[in-house]
């Protein structure tokens, strides 16, 4: 629970506060004092009489009633201290900085449970343990630096790791990103990242509350809660970006040793973020850059971007250095964004107002000798004359030929005046530190690296809106699906005819086929269907590995020979014959992830999924918009769309199959694994050719 005593306490006691700034107890007192805390600050330390000018209590029993307690004492002492403070001193909120709890030992985990039980009993809030604290506009109860510039309209930052929070804050401060609050939840014994989002969602005031949330997550303990409140906040006009670490096997081990976090598969994280509308980042530089991009978008533009991401896709680049302009152009293009060429009368007019040798084709290169007035002119043309531009990127470092204070003052005024967003890229932090610092003091941000900016922008544009909660059930026969599942008696991979029944119930088209242990029945089927056909052994799970697949069978003699051969394969009990289709191979699969539900995967078949791992993921059930976003995020999407004169595939039907499959899974949680590989597709049809379903209902 999150209460007023945690957020706006009228009194704070630091248990273990000291005069030593190099220890957490001293640093946290210093930060509270330097932060201008307006309430009553108390200190408990049995060895000191005065700490940083404040008279000290030697024992917690001497304390008057206090609202918030910050504990910086050994872990073994914390449970009893919390008990006394809650029972006798009416403390209603605790921040436990101390480490040595569940992240380290079983004994530490028991100490956590004791503390949590006391907080539950007395209806008290608990942050931590094993955290750096809580920072907001009312109190700076953290022991670390840097302390970022605080602004009620700044960013809310929630981190599962204290040390990582410090690294992210350092990255943000260098860019000028301002904050409203910083939450280090540590082990998150009572209040986790999901709980903070819930509080922000349920108490959200669009007139006063910040709209940007940045998250660093090591453990998703409640995916449903995270999904619900993140998507709710985004629908209310907020923007959320997050890093989820520990998704790889090695990363999981590292995260576990750090906080006791349980790893989640990367595909599940990707699917959850996609459904919620969270921009996924992979480094602290990306995360803080995305946060800065959000601040550059006016509220009206951000609202439009939420509904129509393509509304921010065309960029003008104004630079005084050709190389960075070229690198930025390349990075934007690689991310699917556009740098349109400027031609015609307006371009010629602009060129005439710059020094000879300047280029205006886009990037607009005003040269190293360009003046602040030239910069202003170029920005004005991008704002008023070049209608094909959605936003402006300005690269201006230290050419050594102009006064940067004047240049950055021009940039400051244009950011305030222009309706189109302006992204300042000021790379000369070493040689022009004071000038950049002065620019940031005016409330602006700085993107010191143009490629990171472009990559982060492409991530924002590629992130879909939060998915609608409705389930697409048109054409999906749920009662029949449940009857089929109920009739399956044993766990494991189901027979091909059962797969066909399930797919028919969900409206997923399958290639004509017959499964039998009777040779003549299969020959009759092939004659009726028409050659060529495909024969596949039934029984072994990995048919190709045992020589159980034969393509392009063109006559009865060949089919009879393959039937005899396949029935001799160990574990074979039948043969499947299918009409052989020609087209492009696609893939759809799903796997059940505990706590998350079914993660649905899609991609091109064959080498694309097996070797290149070019797959996209979504969390069932999926909307048509989600499935479309999944398909279009594939690196191989150009093949689906059609390229170099080749006809594209029927994307609409591929999307429909993904949606139907996800709806099927929503009502068949006993299905733990499913894959259709391949689907054969052309510009007209998309048909399932080979599929496996694994049921697990008795565990």
Class of CATH domain 305-462: alpha beta
**Mean pLDDT lowest for which of 210-224, 300-314, 409-423, 574-588?**
300-314
**Residue 174 confidence (pLDDT) above 80:** yes
Q: Which residues contact 215 (CB under 8 A, 6 or more apart)?
A: 157, 158, 159, 193, 240, 241, 242, 243, 278
Sequential DSSP letters for 507-569: T--B--EEEES-HHHHHHHHHHH-S-EEEEEES-SSTGGGT-EEEEE-SHHHHHHHHHHHHTS
Q: Which of 62, 64, 91, 74 is nearest to 82 (CA)?
A: 91
- Residues of CATH 3.40.50.720 domain(s) within the chain? 4-132
Rounded to an integer, the average pLDDT of 613-642 is 91
- Higher pLDDT pick, 43 / 250: 43
Average model confidence (pLDDT) across the chain: 91
- pLDDT of the residue at 697: 85
Mean pLDDT of 291-314: 70
Helical segments of 335-432, H only: 345-352, 372-384, 404-417
Rounded to whole angstroms, the Cα distance separating 158 from 489 reads 47
**What band does 645 get if pLDDT is binned at 50, 70 and 90?**
confident
> Picking from 76-85, 130-139, 296-305, which range would have the lowest pLDDT averaged per residue?
296-305
Are the C-beta atoms of 145 and 21 separated by less than 8 Å? no
| Beta bridge mates, 134 | 141, 183
Report how far residue 191's alpha carbon sits from residue 185's, in angstroms, rounded to the nearest whole number: 7
Cα-atom radius of gyration of the chain, to the nearest Å?
31
Q: Is 289 helix (H, G, I), strand (E, B) or coil?
A: helix
Residue 38 has pLDDT above 50, yes or no: yes
Query: What is the C-alpha separation between 10 and 138, in angstroms, rounded?
Result: 10
4-132: CATH topology: Rossmann fold (3.40.50)
| 290: CB partners within 8 A, 6+ apart | 214, 241, 279, 281, 456, 459, 460
Question: Which pair of tokens denotes residue 336?
Answer: 């699917």
Residue 170 confidence (pLDDT)? 96
Can you give the pLDDT at residue 468? 86
- Digit-coded pLDDT (tens) for 652-682: 999 999 999 999 999 999 999 999 988 999 9
pLDDT exceeds cutoff 90 at 311: no
614/123: higher pLDDT = 123
Q: Which two tokens stand for residue 28?
A: 């946290």
Predicted confidence at residue 612, as pLDDT, reads 77
CATH 3.30.470.20 maps onto the chain at: 584-695
Q: How confident is the model at residue 260 (pLDDT cuts 50, 70, 90)?
A: very low
The pLDDT value given to residue 257: 41
Predicted confidence (pLDDT) per residue in 343-393, tens digit: 999 999 999 999 999 999 999 999 999 999 999 999 999 999 999 999 999
For residue 620, give the nearest of 655, 662, 592, 670 by alpha carbon: 662
> What's residue 430's pLDDT?
81
* Distance from C-alpha of 236 to C-alpha of 359, rounded to nearest angstrom: 43
Q: Residue 310: which pLDDT band, with cuts at 50, 70 and 90?
A: low
Measuring CA to CA, which residue among 396, 450, 402 is closest to residue 426? Answer: 396
Domain with CATH 3.40.50.261 in the chain: 146-296, 305-462
Task: Point out the least confidently predicted range of 88-92, 432-436, 514-518, 610-614.
Answer: 610-614
* pLDDT the model gives residue 250: 53
Other CB atoms closer than 10 Å to residue 40's CB: what's the count? 14
What is the Cα–Cα distance from 584 to 586, expressed in whole angstroms? 7
Backbone angles phi, psi at 241, to 5 degrees: -130, 150
Question: Sorting pLDDT into bands at 50, 70 and 90, what band is 432?
Answer: confident
Cα-Cα-Cα-Cα dihedral sign, residues 543, 548, 552, 554: negative
What CATH class is the domain 584-695?
A: alpha beta
CATH of domain 146-296: 3.40.50.261
Structure token pair of residue 522: 């299969």
Instruction: Please state the φ and ψ torsions of residue 442, each to the nearest 5 degrees.
Output: -80, 5
- What CATH number was assigned to the domain covering residues 512-579? 3.30.1490.20
As annotated, the residues of the chain forming the CATH 3.30.1490.20 domain(s) are 512-579
Q: Which of 309-313, 314-318, 439-443, 617-621 has the lowest mean pLDDT?
A: 309-313
Give bridge partners of residue 127 from the DSSP assignment.
Answer: 95
């Amino acid at each position: 629970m999150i209460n007023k005593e945690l957020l706006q306490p009228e009194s704070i006691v630091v248990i273990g506060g000291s005069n030593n700034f190099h220890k957490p107890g001293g640093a946290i007192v210093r930060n509270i004092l330097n932060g201008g805390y307006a309430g009553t600050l108390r200190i408990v330390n049995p060895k000191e009489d005065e700490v940083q000018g404040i008279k000290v209590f030697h024992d917690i029993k001497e304390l008057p009633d206090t609202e918030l307690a910050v504990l910086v004492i050994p872990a073994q002492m914390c449970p009893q201290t919390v008990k006394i403070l809650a029972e006798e001193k009416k403390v209603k909120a605790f921040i436990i900085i101390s480490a040595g709890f569940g992240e380290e030992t079983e004994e530490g985990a028991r100490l956590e449970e004791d503390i949590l039980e006391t907080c539950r009993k007395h209806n008290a809030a608990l942050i931590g343990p094993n955290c750096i604290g809580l920072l907001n506009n009312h109190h700076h109860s953290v022991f670390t630096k840097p302390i970022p510039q605080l602004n009620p309209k700044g960013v809310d930052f929630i981190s599962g790791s204290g040390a990582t929070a410090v690294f992210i804050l350092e990255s943000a401060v260098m860019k000028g990103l301002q904050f409203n609050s910083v939450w280090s939840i540590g082990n998150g014994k009572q209040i986790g990242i999901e709980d903070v989002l819930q509080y922000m969602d349920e108490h959200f005031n669009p007139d006063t509350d910040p709209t940007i949330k940045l998250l660093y997550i090591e453990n998703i303990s409640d995916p449903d809660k995270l999904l619900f409140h993140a998507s709710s906040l985004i629908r209310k006009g907020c923007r959320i970006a997050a890093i989820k670490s520990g998704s790889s096997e090695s990363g999981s081990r590292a995260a576990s040793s750090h906080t006791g976090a349980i790893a989640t598969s990367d595909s599940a994280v990707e699917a959850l973020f996609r459904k919620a509308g969270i921009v996924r980042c992979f480094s602290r530089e990306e995360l803080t850059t995305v946060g800065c991009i959000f601040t550059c978008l006016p509220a009206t533009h951000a609202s439009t971007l939420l509904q129509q991401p393509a509304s921010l896709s065309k960029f003008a680049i104004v630079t005084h250095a050709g190389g960075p302009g070229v690198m930025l152009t390349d990075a934007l293009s690689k991310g699917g964004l556009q740098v349109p060429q400027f031609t015609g009368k307006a371009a010629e007019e602009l060129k005439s107002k710059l020094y000879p040798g300047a280029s205006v084709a886009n990037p607009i290169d005003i040269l190293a000798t360009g003046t602040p007035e030239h910069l202003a002119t170029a920005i004005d043309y991008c704002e008023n004359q070049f209608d094909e531009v959605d936003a402006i990127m300005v690269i201006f470092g230290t050419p050594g030929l102009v006064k940067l204070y004047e240049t950055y003052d021009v940039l400051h005024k244009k950011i305030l005046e222009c309706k189109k967003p302006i992204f300042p890229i000021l790379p000369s932090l070493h040689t022009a530190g004071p000038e950049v610092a002065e620019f940031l003091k005016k409330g602006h941000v700085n993107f010191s690296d143009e490629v990171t900016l472009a990559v982060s922008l492409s991530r924002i544009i590629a992130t879909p809106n939060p998915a609608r909660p409705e389930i697409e059930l048109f054409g999906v026969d749920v009662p029949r699906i449940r009857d089929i599942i109920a009739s399956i008696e044993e766990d494991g991979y189901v027979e091909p005819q059962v797969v066909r029944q399930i797919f028919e119930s969900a409206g997923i088209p399958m290639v004509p086929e017959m499964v039998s242990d009777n040779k003549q029945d299969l020959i009759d089927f092939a004659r009726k269907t028409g050659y060529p056909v495909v024969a596949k052994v039934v029984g072994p799970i990995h048919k190709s590995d045992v020589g159980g697949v034969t393509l392009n069978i063109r006559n009865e003699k060949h089919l009879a020979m393959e039937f005899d051969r396949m029935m001799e394969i160990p574990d074979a009990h039948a043969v499947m014959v299918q009409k052989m289709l020609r087209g492009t191979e696609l893939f759809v699969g799903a796997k059940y992830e505990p706590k998350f539900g079914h993660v649905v995967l899609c991609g091109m078949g064959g080498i694309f999924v097996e070797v290149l791992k070019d797959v996209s993921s979504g969390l069932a059930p999926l909307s048509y918009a989600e499935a479309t976003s999944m398909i279009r995020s594939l690196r191989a999407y150009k093949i689906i769309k059609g390229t170099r004169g080749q006809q594209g595939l029927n994307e609409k039907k591929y999307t429909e199959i993904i949606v139907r499959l996800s709806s099927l899974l929503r009502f068949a949680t006993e299905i733990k694994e499913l894959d259709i590989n391949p689907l054969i597709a052309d510009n007209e049809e998309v048909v399932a050719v080979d599929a496996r379903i694994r049921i697990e209902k008795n565990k």
